[in-house]
Amino acid sequence: MLTCQQATQLMSSRLDHEMPITKKMNLKLHLMMCKSCRRCDDQLDLIHQAGKQWYQRVIEEQATKSNDPEK
């Protein structure tokens, strides 16, 4: 059985590469039973998405400013 700390480490590492099936199952099992870790997992996932959007936002912010004379 994973501890919460171990579970958070797996959450992070699965954002970087494919995880072996046993680790995946262990994490899934832990998440089913632990609300705090489920939230943490959702939040790390959100941070991952935010990172991608951040770059796009930086580019688009400029595009709107320089290409849109209406604003």
Binding site for another protein (CB under 8 A): 3-6, 8-9, 12-13, 15-17, 36-37, 39-40, 42-44, 46-55, 57-63, 65-66
| CB nearer another protein, residue 13 or residue 28 | 13
CA distance 61 to 3: 42
- Give min distance, CB of 56 to another protein, in A: 9
| CB nearer another protein, residue 28 or residue 43 | 43
Question: Would you say the C-alpha torsion 3, 42, 12, 25 has a positive or negative sign?
Answer: positive
| CB nearer another protein, residue 28 or residue 48 | 48
